Amino acid sequence: MLPTSWLEGEHVKTLRVSLIAVLLILTALPALAQQNAPPAAPAPDQAKEKEALEIGTEAYIYGYPLVTVEMTRRVMTNVAKPEGFHAPMGQFANLRTYPTAAFRDVTAPNADTLYSAAWLDLSKEPYILSLPDEHGRYYLMPMLSGWTDVFQVPGTRTTGTKAQKYAITGPGWQGTLPQGVTEYKSPTNMVWIIGRTYCTGTPADYKAVHQIQDQYKLVPLSAYGKPYIPPVGKVDPSIDMKTPVRDQVNRMDAGAYFKLLAALMKDNPPAKEDAPMVAKLARVGIVPG
């Protein structure tokens, strides 16, 4: 999950503003009593309003990782071809040098690895990830669900450094995979791969790691084993590429925030353990779809 620091300071102020709107947008309950009204026992409508506010608060916090990941995906994939730490869906974006102090795409980036990141949409079909022989070099390929949970981490420590192939499949996919390909089942259709490969930082080692990065491959299952050229990405000029993602999320009004959350939950279902929270969301009209 995302760090709690994301909800501190200005984010709490934004949260309060959004939650006020929750009462109007989600529940259509009567307005709160005037501040100068005489003390009285809570009326039924007031009790409902209080409950809606409490559920709205929990809903906002619960959905924050999923909404933030989606907004991050939109920004990082809004390019025609890989450049810097941005690349179209289904393609690797490879950083060729260590992150500088100005790097803001990933919180607390490593200072001794080169990043290789990719975003996948598994709603149509799985993707095949091919990793080359690293010849003992340290690397890892964490795979994050739409809720920011890491569901698999192939790499030196877990799977070794020999060449490997994985099929990353969505939660509802069933089918047959090519021989020699290991299935990694994602709990959501949105997947974020944040790969890292160790580098000493010397010119010679930079070159060596670049050669490895160039061998990290992603192809749709239907294209596996065939000549494949990644499609040109679609650039949406309406996407804000300048404002930090966190600020974009925090500025969303309650209606837009919860509408996006509900839409995302359709292809990125909550974990079974979250059933009580999902039931609460339904009580204020937030359901997948």
- On average, the pLDDT of the chain sits at 87
What the block records as the tokens of 155 is 């790499």
pLDDT tens digit sequence for 109-122: 788 999 999 999 99
pLDDT of residue 41: 56
- pLDDT of 9 > 50? The answer is no
pLDDT tens digit sequence for 180-202: 999 999 999 999 999 999 999 99
Of residues 116, 105, 107, the one with CA closest to residue 82: 116
Of residues 163, 160, 120, the one with CA closest to residue 143: 120
pLDDT band at 52 (very low <50, low <70, confident <90, very high): confident
Decide if 146 contacts 188 (C-beta within 8 A).
yes
Q: Give the Cα separation of 89 and 80 in Å (integer).
A: 10
Average pLDDT on 9-33 reads 42
- The correct CATH number of 93-223 out of 2.60.40.1610, 3.10.450.50, 3.30.1600.10, 3.40.30.10 is 2.60.40.1610
pTM of the model: 0.83
261-281: string of b/e by CB count within 10 Å (b at 16+)? bbebbebbbbeeeeeebbebb
Of residues 283, 279, 261, the one with CA closest to residue 63: 261
- pLDDT of 18 > 70? The answer is no
Distances (CA, A) of 284 to 14, 24, 59, 60, 161: 20, 11, 9, 12, 49
User: According to CATH, where is 2.60.40.1610 located in the chain?
Assistant: 93-223
Decide if 88 contacts 232 (C-beta within 8 A).
yes
pLDDT tens digit sequence for 159-179: 999 999 999 999 999 999 999
Of residues 71, 121, 7, 89, the one with CA closest to residue 256: 71
pLDDT band at 50 (very low <50, low <70, confident <90, very high): confident
DSSP assignments along 175-187, one per residue: ----TT-EEEE-S
Distances (CA, A) of 146 to 51, 57, 90: 28, 20, 15
pLDDT of residue 40: 54
